[in-house]
Structure 1
Amino acid sequence: GVREHVELRTEVTSVRQEADGMWTVVSRDAGGAVTSRRFEQVIVASGHHTDPALPDPLPEGAESFAGTILHSLDYRTGADFAGRRVVVVGLGASAVDIAADLSRHAAETFLSVRRGLHIVPKQLYGMSVDVIAEAPWWNEMSFAERIQWVEQALLVARGKLSDYGLPEPDHPVFSSAVTLSDEILSRIRHGAVTPRPAIGSFDGDRVVFTDGTSTAADAVVYCTGFHMTWPFLPAGCPVAADGSVELYRRVVPADRPGLYFVGLVRPVGAITRLVEAQAQWVARIIDGETSLPPAEEMREEIDAYLTSIVRRYGRTQGASIQVDVGPYLAEFRESATV
């Protein structure tokens, strides 16, 4: 009985809270018809991959580059680039996945990396990193002990990144986002993907790197992330003036009752179980099985969380949605037993 209540190809253009606490949601369907409806609760589950982010400005010569420049958002399959020479920019999840995929189709695949990131395989010592993140022995370790354990495990599992031609990270693991991949280092080692430094400029059909080397290229895929935007929501929700996402338990804006964000987190590992825990918690709140604390208490939790985030990652928008899987899931398990 769910499908009859689902509207596909429908854009939400406005979500605003009225004086009586109800939410007015304005939407537009594929035919252009606009509908306005009122709801007691609104759940935003659109994630944080919203508007593609490209370097601004692009490197010199980009406007006259003879090849194609695109963002990872527009990438579909490596088969579209069969026999072509492609430069992939970045070292995050999209970059390494796209580079590995391209390497099976393209004539040449280059991976342009400005800054080193920790590349973590999906298993360490035969254990899934998702299982490790929830293991009692892991969560009993101090933060320093976890860093030491992981860095030692990474040396055993894949050695130094510089051995693959990639820059070594300039920061400890867990002080910035990590990249999970079982494949990219193998593709590099087998010569299917060639690491290169950052792009310095474009020259005709050539991409010139910051070390002075260059290569002819038919396409450049920028895997440089996204800007988090919610144009249908009131200004300042959920992003504060300093760029931090301000949500109680990374779900609830303290001063907007009836509004929830599900999936707006970034863990080390899979997000699936976290989204499930969030959804179950929101359902319990809506059903009246549990309740939210006063707004002031929620603001205190948000402030404490963001203070710890700044101490660990620095003040960036992306860092403000970073969570540790084990402790985060434990918060929802505890609330389920109250």
Structure 2
Amino acid sequence: MPSSKEPPQQQQVKCVFHRGPIIVGAGPSGLAAAACLHASGVPALLLERADCIASLWQHRTYDRLKLHLPRQFCELPLLNFPNHFPKYPTKDQFVSYMEGYARHFSIEPEFKQAVLEARFDGLTGLWRVQTRDALYVSRWLVVATGENAEPAIPEIQGLRRFQGPVLHASAYRSGSEFSKKKVLVVGCGNSGMEVSLDLCRHRASPSIVVRNSVHILPREMCGVSTFTIAMVLLKWLPLKLVDKFLLVVANITFGNTARLGLRRPKTGPIELKNATGKSPVLDVGALSLIKSRKIEVVEGVKEITKNGAKFSDGQEREFDSIILATGYKSNVPTWLKGEDFFTEEGMPKTPFPYSWKGENGLYAVGFTRRGLLGTSSDAVKIAEDIADQWRKINKRYSAKEIKLGSEIFGKIRENI
């Protein structure tokens, strides 16, 4: 028997030097960057903590989810959606598109490789990316974990006391399990509205908490996407004027939503989205149910009780379940170390359109607050920048010399 004083054996950690960039995250942002790099002749290595691509879409979205914008605004670079897809593809269709996208560009991520730490080594001029069982090293690091890496759970007094089920919207699949139940939905963004709509369609009784002011716009105007109209108008008119037009249309369509407990922000919908990332709600039917009182709007939760909630107006109600439709957040600060490029909230300090590039070969894709359009813009710029460096390096060193350098690196990896 070995002595109890003997130190435990350390797990063997492999060291991998990659000639091209390392991309952390195999969601739409990581796939877009990898595809653009592939088209430029630059090999990329994708590290993904889950066991599949686009894990947020596959494992953390409700069944009835559809893209809020027309498909032409949600395509990744260099490959369109299949022609037979509808105007607003479903969750499953979007996942199948991304899987086909990965196959088309021969993207094969390393799955189950959650990054514990990534740090730039000033002595070697290389990035060290540590996972549980490997150390990956490269000249370039592309952060592609995005704005929605982790569920955002708010601090609500008494939440742990509640005896019924409490789940984040990322764990919500269908209203079928809430039939004939009273459900408190915290958050009135697109997710909160759609979850409430889905609950109604499964004969549940949802009450939606309005924590802040919110813009609600019709998804379409006369059969044309509101977003499409806004994008066309922005080519010719100032942003504030386009915002005013959208609000006029919304008021004509919905009336004064403040009477329903849904106050509009003072800042216009597009200007607010660009400044804070807060998207307007594109209504797909929830507002009519609010008007008919099938979805009840309640103001701020003061406290969660054992069987329900107390509200800021003094009322106390009982609920069977609570769903937190409170959004997501970046997880970059938990693993990217020694860098001043990101804020404490995990967003680039430099605003769009200059948020894609840091120092020492650091890049960011999918942090623009502008959805997949912003992701595509970032991916193209990153690929062009890295490809330019790649060509210069390959002019300086032959393939044989690069291979020799990789072998030498492997021999001295214990000292890195």
Common fold, TM-score beyond 0.5?
yes
Select the residue among 125, 148, 152 that pairs with 1:21: 125
- Find the residue that maps to 1:266 and give its secondary structure: coil
Task: Measure the CA separation in 2 of the matches of 1:250 and 1:81.
Answer: 45
Does 2:254 align with 1:158?
Answer: yes
- CA 1:87–1:46: 2 relative to 1, 3 Å: same
Name 2:267's counterpart in structure 1: 172
Task: Measure the CA separation in 2 of the matches of 1:4 and 1:264.
Answer: 22
Structure 1 contact 88–223 (Cα < 8 Å) conserved: yes
Select the residue among 156, 177, 186 that pairs with 1:80: 177
Structure 2 matches for 1:30-49, cutoff 5 A? Answer: 34-49=133-148
TM-fit CA distance, 1:290: 11
Structure 1 contact 112–199 (Cα < 8 Å) conserved: yes
- CA 1:144–1:101: 2 relative to 1, 3 Å: same
Larger Rg computed on CA atoms = 2
Does 2:218 align with 1:218?
Answer: no
- CA 1:202–1:289: 2 relative to 1, 3 Å: closer
TM-fit CA distance, 1:152: 0.7
Task: Measure the CA separation in 1 of the matches of 2:331 and 2:107.
Answer: 29
TM-fit CA distance, 1:87: 0.5
Task: Measure the CA separation in 2 of the matches of 1:185 and 1:205.
Answer: 28
Structure 2 contact 347–367 (Cα < 8 Å) conserved: no
Instruction: Please give the per-residue CA displacement for 1:177-219, whole angstroms capped at 9, x wherever unaligned.
Output: 3222322212323443111111122333132222223332111
Task: Measure the CA separation in 2 of the matches of 1:289 and 1:264.
Answer: 23
Name 2:309's counterpart in structure 1: 207
Does 2:297 align with 1:195?
Answer: yes
Structure 2 matches for 1:278-317, cutoff 5 A? Answer: 278-288=378-388
RMSD: 2.8
Gaps of 5+ in 1: 29-33, 292-338
Instruction: Please give the per-residue CA displacement for 1:116-162, whole angstroms capped at 9, x wherever unaligned.
Output: 21112222344323323431x43321233122211111112222213
Name 1:102's counterpart in structure 2: 199
Select the residue among 148, 152, 158 that pairs with 2:244: 148
Select the residue among 2, 5, 10 that pairs with 2:113: 10
Select the residue among 344, 347, 356 that pairs with 1:252: 356
* TM-score, normalised via structure 1 length: 0.73
* TM-score, normalised via structure 2 length: 0.60
- Find the residue that maps to 1:288 and give its secondary structure: helix
- CA 1:203–1:239: 2 relative to 1, 3 Å: same
Does 2:153 align with 1:54?
Answer: yes
Task: Measure the CA separation in 2 of the matches of 1:237 and 1:78.
Answer: 43
Task: Measure the CA separation in 2 of the matches of 1:129 and 1:251.
Answer: 27
Structure 1 contact 237–253 (Cα < 8 Å) conserved: no
Structure 2 contact 308–318 (Cα < 8 Å) conserved: yes
Aligned length: 278
Structure 1 contact 85–108 (Cα < 8 Å) conserved: yes
Gaps of 5+ in 2: 1-102, 273-277, 392-416
- Find the residue that maps to 1:154 and give its secondary structure: helix
- Find the residue that maps to 1:10 and give its secondary structure: coil
- Find the residue that maps to 2:240 and give its secondary structure: helix
- Find the residue that maps to 2:211 and give its secondary structure: coil
